[in-house]
Amino acid sequence: MSSSKLLVSLWTVLCFLMQATCNVQIRRPLTIVKLVGFSWENCGKPGDPSVMKTLDLSPDPIPIPGNLQASASGTTSVALVSPLSVNVTLEKEVAGIWVKVPCLEEIGSCHYPDACDILNQLIPPGQDCPEPLHTYGLPCHCPFKAGDYSLPQSDFYLPQIDLPFWLTNGQYRVQGVLGSMDKELGCLKVSLSVHSL
């Protein structure tokens, strides 16, 4: 997948979990969070140019704080340039029914008009891409060239986080749709359970 698709896909999951760009005011501190039963699938149309080929996270459960091993690969047949929109739909299972979580302070079912701008905020232009992207020559800023991209199995440390009180203990589905100029480029859906201790 394009490095952008890879980064945006991982960002969709990790921003949801780690609130990389979020400013929720109502939170409660949690000592330990475990993510259980992570799974993923492409949810795009057959002709979408950006497709995730592999995405593996371990261990299961994933402890937060704790160590995570991740690998991913994918492809894009078109260059990914700004503005690169991401529409995130977050659902939580409540009494056997999937309920859409609204967008609250940039967490939940939100529209992000330009993932390229978000990447620039997380990693200022001119700064080296963080490890392990730098080691494997994966770019972290738009534009991303068409081609195949892969991240070999790499180690990450997930720090302790404070989740909003409404984003704990339950089964979740997160769908991220990548688009540009009103055209869908790719779609990724992940499922997981959040358990706080």
| CATH code of the domain covering residue 21 | 2.70.220.10
What pLDDT, on the 0 to 100 scale, is given for residue 32?
63
Q: Pick left, alpha or beta for residue 46 (phi over 0 → left; psi -120 to 50 → alpha; otherwise beta).
A: alpha
The segments of the chain whose pLDDT lies below 50 read: 1-30
What pLDDT, on the 0 to 100 scale, is given for residue 58?
94
List the structure tokens of 2. 């394009």
Domain span including residue 90 = 3-196
What pLDDT, on the 0 to 100 scale, is given for residue 27?
41
pTM of this structure? 0.81
- Alpha-carbon torsion angle 125, 52, 131, 27, nearest 10: 80
- Could you tell me whether strands 66-76 and 147-158 are parallel, antiparallel, or unpaired per DSSP bridges? antiparallel
What pLDDT, on the 0 to 100 scale, is given for residue 161?
74
How many domains in the chain?
1
Phi, psi (5° rounding) for residue 2?
-60, 155
What pLDDT, on the 0 to 100 scale, is given for residue 105?
82
